[in-house]
Chains A and B, each alone.
Chain A
């Protein structure tokens, strides 16, 4: 029994479907991610990779299928017979296990960096302020922003804001970190400082899933790469193999196009 549980992946997505206004965005997606993995999800725009991420932390509720993160599962047979509100509590519990960093820089503009980080631990987990602040300072040191704790978001560069957003997500002690194109909105020279934080977290054993267009990062840092197209997972491969010798024609076409434009 214990062995079986240990063998269960940290994230498991099974037969997940999701459509918007009748247009299928994810079709029957199944994916398992082990603890400590750093996984990159790549694919052309509109392939469903962002929606997959948002379904994992239930910002979008799946139409049918099953999502399980760190033992908290959400399963739905049918969207019409089981309305969204039935799953509100479960979605909320599942979200507590998952940290997320968005493409848009969405720190809370009316709060300082430190206040951004301590808000959720204090009101969601009822952490005392002293403890929340101490933890926030530790995380700010980790992402290299110790000097900026009293600044407001608009006083920081995009890269600094994304690092602060990572610290804010980490303050909730998530088991998994999800990143939705975390560097797309950044000037090129600011990209590396964000990716470096993610590499550091990988070294500490954090499980991370990154939707990205940074092929270099995907290739160098990921344990493996998921290639998606038209709402389906086309290929899951070792990071080098997919670039050198993709199994699927569609992957090959995408990567060739991508390399030519880049």
Chain B
């Protein structure tokens, strides 16, 4: 199993930011023995390690060594900030909250590509069943996959799902339900590969695995294998097909769903390892666990679970042995077939067009959010920028220095860092924004600095005699700025401000990294699901162009208008 690499990168960066924050707070913590131990652990973590981890996570398919794997397995201390992006509803007897990660969740839990906004997956069906029996409505809570277990202990949800392996190490931290599925690792090679027909043949070959997975340890035990770690299974299969890898070793369901639809991929018939999936519960909640176990055993006994697994084409001899069910299938693999059809090597042009048209509602929603974020950020930037410029140009020295400081700091640091800081950093001082508002505030504060400089140029372009004329009429300074200077400055700055809005529209793609599902994030999700970065990319580029077009026209128009109005306006 895996989670989106972007989520992990953002987590690592947030940790670096926390280090900076923590370092400044450190002196206070040393005299206070009651300081939060988790926060202290983060403060004491050597910075170099975080930086190294960050680099590793950015690269896909890098060779990994036992030391690196061991490091990755080390217990990570999480702080509240790691969960800043999780939007969990409050506990409620009427609902049953479960944590999962939609990115790369096929076939466990994922957004239905045909019917966006609807969750599908074999675990979703099991959850619906459990919810029905308990009389509690299952409610999905999005969290990064590698933080699903830590999230349990923060009461973000009652249970964590999505292929949680029952292992002795995991059982030390959480309680597991009875297994609802058993599988093995699946070795896949190219159709034209005959040199690898079993695990043992992997010696001397290059093999792709998912990070921190059972696959790695099995290959490491085998020895002599060049192991490459991936966080996105699509990329592993791509590298297999294009010859960068000789084989991949993934969890059975992952291999089936991501490799199965690819005609160029061959599955090696060999059972490697044994993986049992169980739902994870906090160790101190035995009652819910007991009830879920009852329901799961009932589903195993009455064939309900088998029916679900058959529909998803997940039944295998290992499950049969675990459930003691050797009967005939209860259903055709309809949902697997549907998935394959969706993936289907859509070669015909009309099919492709049909699929792209199917993307439009999802992309439209993403575009709407992009537009909302951009418009609100711009409004914020325009208002704050005007105040900053006013203070910088007209306020007494200490205040104007503060405004200058703000402008220089914001312009001198990357907007990406600012967004991370606001979204992941500020929660540690008690300021929490939803992803949407973090994006609006981050982009708004950033662009305010640039708008302030625009306005300042505008203010300076208005002759000083205008200010004197206004003051001589007994207007206050503020009245003079508002009624005399600002309207004249506004005409001068309108073209650059409109141009800035067009850049803001494009920069809004950055908020995708703080878990906002806007246009760029939608692109990533669609492209990963269908492995179609090309066509989808062209569509998204076209949408950005269309969104920006009215503002390009507006900028032209204001420039022209200014060119006409300006020469005579001042003589």
Contacts and interface: CB of A to CB of B under 8 A. Distances in A.
B473 A169 contact: yes
B487 to A, nearest CB: 5
A123 B474 CA distance: 10
B95 interface: no
A59 B483 contact: no
Contacts of B569: 109-110, 152, 154
B465 interface: yes
Interface residues on chain B, size class? 20 to 34
B568 interface: yes
A85 B556 CA distance: 44
Contact of A106 (B465, B474, B479, B491): B465
Interface size class of A (residues with CB under 8 A): 20 to 34
Contacts of B465: 102, 104, 106
A95 interface: yes
A21 B192 CA distance: 88
Contacts of B484: 108, 119
A57 B469 CA distance: 12
A109 B474 CA distance: 19
A191 interface: no
Contacts of A98: 472
A108 B568 CA distance: 13
A109 B472 CA distance: 17
A152 B463 CA distance: 17
A254 to B, nearest CB: 28
B570 interface: yes
Nearest to B473: A120
A26 B472 CA distance: 21
A102 B469 contact: yes
A172 interface: yes
A49 interface: no
Contacts of B396: 85
Interface string A94-124: 0110111010111111100000000110011
B193 interface: no
A159 to B, nearest CB: 14
A92 interface: yes
A205 B469 CA distance: 24
B488 A123 contact: no
Contacts of B474: 92, 95-96, 120, 124, 172
A18 interface: no
A108 B472 contact: no
A165 B468 CA distance: 13
A123 B472 contact: no
A92 B568 contact: no
B475 A100 contact: no
A110 B494 CA distance: 15
A137 interface: no
A168 interface: yes
Contacts of A96: 474
Contact of B472 (A100, A110, A152): A100
Given A85-B396, A106-B466, A124 B488 contact: no
A154 B473 contact: no
B126 interface: no
Interface in B557-571: 568-571
Contact of B475 (A59, A123, A155): A123
Nearest to A98: B472
Contacts of A99: 472
Contact of A124 (B479, B568, B571): B479
Interface of A: 57, 59, 85, 92, 95-96, 98-100, 102, 104-110, 119-120, 123-124, 152, 154-155, 165, 168-169, 172
- Nearest 4 A-B pairs (CB), nearest first? A120-B473, A154-B568, A96-B474, A100-B472
11 contacts: A59-B472, A95-B471, A102-B469, A106-B469, A108-B470, A109-B488, A123-B483, A124-B479, A154-B570, A169-B473, A172-B473
